[in-house]
Amino acid sequence: MARPQPLMIQIATGDPRPIGKQIVDAVRMKIATGELGAGDQLPSVRGLAQQLTINPNTVAKAYAELTTEGWLESRQGMGLYVATKRQRLSEDERERRLDDAIGRFVNDVIPLGYPPDEVQARVADEFQQLVPRKIA
């Protein structure tokens, strides 16, 4: 059995998202990009709380949300592991979340005054940077 590796995520104190949401988003991204694969063990609640110097209850709530959503699975007496890949959301829910995310993004970007083609190019570049991590 492999020992859990430190979960290399950062918490930004200036981020408007709550700390728990930052943890959830970071773990989702690591799983979606392949940095964490099915069967990988996550640090214990206490271990991640110590690593990030935050309250263990915050980590426990984030892990609970990820488990409820199907990203993680609990193995009795062994800890939390990345769940096997499956469709975690219905197609309607995926569409709704995509529409919401695009709406928020557009509302944040338009006031910056960049031309649409530059924004699209930069978004494409960001996705290109994610592709090698997912394949590797």
pTM tops 0.75, yes or no: no
Contact residues for 52 (Cβ-Cβ < 8 A; gap 6+): 9, 11, 19, 23, 59
Region for 76 from its dihedrals, namely left if φ exceeds 0, alpha if ψ lies in -120 to 50, beta otherwise: beta
pLDDT value of position 136: 45
Q: Which residues contact 85 (CB under 8 A, 6 or more apart)?
A: 38
Residue type (1 letter), 94:
R
For the chain, what are the domain ranges?
A: 19-82, 91-130
Q: Which class is 19-82 in CATH?
A: mainly alpha
pLDDT tens for residues 69-86? Answer: 889 999 988 999 999 877
